[in-house]
């Protein structure tokens, strides 16, 4: 297992639709192990393969809810159903979201309260998780990565402007930047 560099916004792999996984081989198992390790080192609660430069439809997640229940797994070739996204302004305190590909920044974004994630694991076993609250948010965020969508692409206008400025100020938004947890001094 290894901690791998995480690509920063601007890298084309983060802005394109990823392909279905077709080979459930040792290479895929190694990728998933590296994804767990990189997510833990960051640290983060989710990580999608395109963030490591791999244009495949899978993500890992690791989240402990308010009842101390651990939600941890890999979703390969997932489908996501979500409830309607609430209208109105996102709350800065309770709805601010971050992304390891835009490290150290957070912006408020409305998300659907409920999500149903369906996918398969490394053994091609299908599973389904009914999620609410922050877990549902994680699934929406990671699923978006597989379609080349970053959360900053979904922000309300005023936050989108701030995010664009921040990305420019950091020198991001170019094709070839990455950071490695534990190596580069960046807090996600």
Q: Which residues are catalytic?
A: 142
Q: How far, CA to CA in Å, does 127 sit from each of 50, 89, 124? A: 22, 34, 9
Smallest separation (angstroms) from Zn ion to the CB of 53: 14
Smallest separation (angstroms) from Zn ion to the CB of 178: 14
Name the closest residue to Zn ion (Cβ).
99
Which residues, in sequence order, are CB contacts of 84 under 8 Å at separation 6+?
112
Largest CA distance in the chain: 46
99 touches Zn ion by CB under 5 A: yes
Closer CB to Zn ion, 24 or 172, in the complex: 172
Q: Are strands 96-98 and 106-108 parallel, antiparallel or unpaired?
A: antiparallel
**Are 65 and 71 spatial neighbours (Cβ–Cβ below 8 Å)?**
yes
Listed ranges 6-14, 91-99, 128-136, 164-172: which one lies at the site for Zn ion (CB under 5 A): 91-99
Listed ranges 71-79, 98-106, 118-126, 160-168: which one lies at the site for Zn ion (CB under 5 A): 98-106
Smallest separation (angstroms) from Zn ion to the CB of 116: 20
Closer CB to Zn ion, 24 or 188, in the complex: 188
Q: Are strands 70-82 and 58-64 parallel, antiparallel or unpaired?
A: antiparallel
Give the H/E segment covering residue 20: none
Closer CB to Zn ion, 98 or 133, in the complex: 98
155 touches Zn ion by CB under 5 A: no
């Amino acid at each position: 297992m290894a901690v791998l560099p995480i690509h920063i916004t601007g890298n084309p792999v983060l802005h394109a639709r990823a392909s279905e996984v077709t080979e459930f081989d040792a290479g895929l198992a190694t990728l998933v192990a590296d994804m767990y390790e990189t997510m833990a080192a960051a640290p983060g609660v989710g990580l999608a393969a395109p963030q490591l430069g791999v244009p495949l439809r899978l993500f890992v997640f690791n989240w402990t809810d308010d009842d101390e229940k651990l939600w941890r797994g890999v979703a390969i070739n997932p489908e996501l159903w979500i409830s309607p996204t609430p209208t109105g302004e996102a709350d800065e305190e309770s709805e601010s979201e971050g992304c390891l590909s835009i490290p150290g920044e957070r912006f408020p974004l409305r998300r659907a309260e409920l999500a149903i994630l369906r996918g398969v694991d490394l053994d091609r076993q299908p599973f389904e998780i009914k999620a609410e609250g922050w877990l549902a948010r994680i699934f929406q965020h990671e699923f978006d990565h597989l379609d080349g969508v970053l959360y900053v692409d979904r922000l309300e206008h005023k936050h989108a402007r701030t995010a664009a400025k921040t990305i420019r100020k950091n020198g991001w938004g170019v094709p070839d930047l990455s950071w490695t947890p534990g190596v580069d001094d960046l807090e996600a």
